[in-house]
């Protein structure tokens, strides 16, 4: 068992060498500060070099966002000026909310079905059920996003500046004839 003592002696000898100072808390503290300062200096010099190409490369994102905002405002103006479009968009919003509620119920039922097969020896039903549940939840989130987009268009159309008197939603509803 002499080699064990040699290893122990080597570790002790290692602690007395220059490499042994890596074990010192003071050494680690100083090195962290030095590396931090060096990182800040390097990043300060590299930031302008990296910003220009990235700004040009991601300019498409800004143009795309501006185009989406313009399409949104155009749709709001069309809804604000056309009563039929407002009513149809309201019905569409309700339809998407109903579809979303059906998707949530379907995902809950599918999850219950897949959880009921946990004790079975064949776990295929469980994993297929979970996969179908995930897909249905994804569809539900998509439907909710569409309904919320329609709702934001409708709210902005109602709360925005008034349309000309002949095309206002309020005046069209007030002047409609009661079928009774």
Distance CA 5, CA 41 (A): 47
Q: How many CB atoms lie within 10 A of CB 85?
A: 16
Q: How far apart are the first and last CA of the chain?
A: 108
pLDDT band at 174, cuts 50/70/90? low
pLDDT band at 7, cuts 50/70/90? very low
Q: What is the pLDDT of residues 64-122, one digit of tens each?
A: 899 999 999 999 999 998 899 999 999 999 999 999 999 999 999 998 988 887 777 77
Length of the chain measured in residues: 180
3-state helix, strand, coil in the chain (%, to 5): 85, 0, 15
Q: Are 85 and 167 in contact (CB under 8 A)?
A: no
Of 3 and 48, more confident: 48
What distance lies between CA 179 and its chain's CA centroid? 47
Residue in 162, 159, 151 with CA at minimum distance from that of residue 89: 151
């Amino acid at each position: 068992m002499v080699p064990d003592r040699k290893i122990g002696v080597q570790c002790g000898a290692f602690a007395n060498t220059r490499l042994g100072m890596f074990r010192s808390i003071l050494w680690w503290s100083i090195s962290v500060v030095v590396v931090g300062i060096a990182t800040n200096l390097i990043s300060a010099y590299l930031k302008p070099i990296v910003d220009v190409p990235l700004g040009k490369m991601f300019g498409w994102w800004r143009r795309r966002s501006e185009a989406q905002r313009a399409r949104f405002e155009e749709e709001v103006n069309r809804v604000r000026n056309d009563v039929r479009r407002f009513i149809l968009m309201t019905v569409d919003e309700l339809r998407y909310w109903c579809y979303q509620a059906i998707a949530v119920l379907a995902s809950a039922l599918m999850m219950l079905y897949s959880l009921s097969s946990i004790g079975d020896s064949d776990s295929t039903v469980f994993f297929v059920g979970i996969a179908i549940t995930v897909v249905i939840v994804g569809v539900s989130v998509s439907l909710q996003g569409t309904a919320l987009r329609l709702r934001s268009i409708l709210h902005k159309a109602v709360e925005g500046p008034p349309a000309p008197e002949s095309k206002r939603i309020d005046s069209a509803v007030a002047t409609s004839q009661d079928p009774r």
